[in-house]
Amino acid sequence: MNKLLKLMRFKVLDAYLIQKYLGAFFFTMMIFTMLSMAFDFSDKIQTFIEGPVTLKNILIDYYPGFVLHISGLIMPIYTMISVVFFTSRLAFNAEILSILNAGVSFQRLLRPYLIAGGFIALFHLSLSHFLIPQFNKSRLWFEHTFVWKDQLKVKNSSVHVLLSPNTKAFVRSYNKDEKKISGLRLEHFDGRIVSSILEAENAVWKPELGKWQLQNYRIRNIDGLRESLQQPRGPIDTTLNLFPEDFVYYHNQNEEMTTPELYSAIRRDESRGLTTSSKAYRIEMSRRTADAFTNIILTIIGLALAGRKSRGGMGLHLALAIGIGCAFVLLSKFSNSFAAGGVLAPELAMWIPNMVFMVIALYLAMRAQK
């Protein structure tokens, strides 16, 4: 670490503080990861023992994804605790006071903190957008298969979907096990006028072809006041912008999608008029970026709080850090609810906690300079 920092031409003070910061951060992450695994294991031990779960399922499929998921979820709290932890030790040993008495300004002292916090933010950003969703695929598969088996949701009746800007589909009912639609109606529009209507009694998914087989169907062509009816006798295989997985979903399936996959899902659902699911994807995508930026904000707050030696010592500083972290999580939950309820746009709602705590960070930083 020291050789790397010297190659990057950091001064001794920068190298010393960055090394302390990152060391405390990864130590904090390791401790909380072990605790979270212990709590989770005790909660799911009955499932592990009684269910048809193999050791590979637990150690390979589940826990790597669980560790990354928890780390990504509360990494800002890790950042806050680690900053307060090692800065309180520096303040207790009068190192911060010595640095400031040597003529180093608070802004200059803040620089290595921001560099380390920026590194953690980039680390968090890459994990949240790409790596964690990949590992969440196996984690969520494990949970849906062995733990929470009733989380599968099926849209099985009265489903309206836009297949294209001028084609609308209505599904009376859907059978998940047979992958069969009963009562399919396709309406094709020419502008605002219906030009044709296809009605099929059944539509069965053919996985080997990737197509739907329409059975007992008829087509009505409408040209002004004229109508013609086509009613072929046999079934026909046809391609529709509709798939069996469109009827089945989990409430947290957005967690297993990388950011490029979220972009694709948002465009797909918005083109179909599915605003509810696209909103959930937008919330998840905005949350990933906002949470990564939170690491920098909490770094500033942690230095401003723990940079001074106080009578309460490290215990008081850590209590404040945990309290601020919990307040941030609570505000994030409120923002998530506002976004899900349509009160605020997801992109704005997910950044409200950062805006509030950025104001607090600037106030504490200005106060610390005095």
Please compute the mean of the pLDDT values over residues 5-30 and round it to a whole number: 82
Please compute the mean of the pLDDT values over residues 4-27 and round it to a whole number: 79
Instruction: Specify the amino acid at residue 144.
Output: H
- Distance (Å, rounded) from C-alpha 179 to C-alpha 203? 9
- Domain residue extents for the chain: 2-149+278-369, 153-243
* Higher local confidence (pLDDT), 260 or 148: 260
* Percentage of the chain exceeding pLDDT 70: 94
Please compute the mean of the pLDDT values over residues 162-186 and round it to a whole number: 91
Query: How many Cβ atoms from other residues are within 10 Å of residue 129's Cβ?
Result: 18
Q: Is the dihedral of CA 227, 228, 229, 234 positive or negative?
A: negative
* Higher local confidence (pLDDT), 326 or 181: 181
Give pLDDT, residue 79. 93
Give pLDDT, residue 4. 54
Average pLDDT of the chain, as a whole number: 87
Read off the tokens for 182: 């009963």
Give pLDDT, residue 7. 47
Give pLDDT, residue 370. 61
Please compute the mean of the pLDDT values over residues 53-61 and round it to a whole number: 92
pLDDT tens, position by position, 206-245: 999 899 999 999 999 988 888 888 888 888 899 888 888 8
Give pLDDT, residue 51. 81
Q: Is the dihedral of CA 263, 331, 317, 39 positive or negative?
A: negative
User: In this model, does residue 69 exceed pLDDT 60?
Assistant: yes
Query: DSSP per residue over 251-308, as a string?
Result: TTGGGG--HHHHHHHHHHHHHTT-HHHHHHHHHHHHHHHHHHHHHHHHHHHHHHHHSS
Selection from 339, 337, 363 nearest residue 349 by Cα: 339
- Chain Cα centroid distance, residue 112: 29
Helix (H, G, I), strand (E, B) or coil at 181: strand
- Distance (Å, rounded) from C-alpha 152 to C-alpha 175? 14
Give pLDDT, residue 112. 93
The pTM score is 0.83
Do residues 318 and 89 lie in contact, with contact meaning Cβ atoms separated by under 8 Å? no
Q: How many residues does the chain have?
A: 370
